[in-house]
Amino acid sequence: MANNAAALDSIFYALADPTRRAVIQRLGRGSATVGELAEPFAMALPSFMKHVGILERTGLIRSRKRGRIRTCTLEQKNLAAAERWFAEQRSMWASRYQNLDSLLESLNGEKRDS
């Protein structure tokens, strides 16, 4: 469980940055070279590579190098861990809201009966 929590923490850390979220979003459409991924950002390539490194260390993307070209691919199964966490949270809060609605209905019913 602690290992899962640490992995989830690193995924959320990686996704906390807008540049890294944009890279993940772009890779959702398919693999791309580092040059293609870096193009929309006004930063030097070494700075952009730090973002790529963080995404790789968290397992959200993988890259392979052929010659001088590095191509990145989204690792959807690792992104699914965050999706599962959000689904669990949604379910828990939906249940809590349903309980609150039931309580409010019963309290309103008691007011009418008085």
Q: Tens of pLDDT along 9-33?
A: 999 999 999 999 999 999 999 999 9
- Where residue 112 falls among pLDDT bands split at 50, 70, 90? low
Position 31 scores a pLDDT of 97
Q: Amino acid letter at 20?
A: R
pTM, to two decimals: 0.75
pLDDT, one tens digit per residue, over 46-96 is 999 999 999 999 999 999 999 999 999 999 888 888 888 888 888 788 878
- Where residue 2 falls among pLDDT bands split at 50, 70, 90? low
Q: Which residues contact 52 (CB under 8 A, 6 or more apart)?
A: 23, 34, 37, 61, 63, 72
- Where residue 1 falls among pLDDT bands split at 50, 70, 90? very low
**Which pairing describes strands 61-66 and 32-33: parallel, antiparallel, or unpaired?**
unpaired
Exposed (0-12), middle (13-18) or buried (19+): which is 79, by Cβ within 10 Å? Answer: buried
**Which CATH number describes the domain made up of 2-113?**
1.10.10.10
Exposed (0-12), middle (13-18) or buried (19+): which is 71, by Cβ within 10 Å? Answer: middle
Position 114 scores a pLDDT of 60
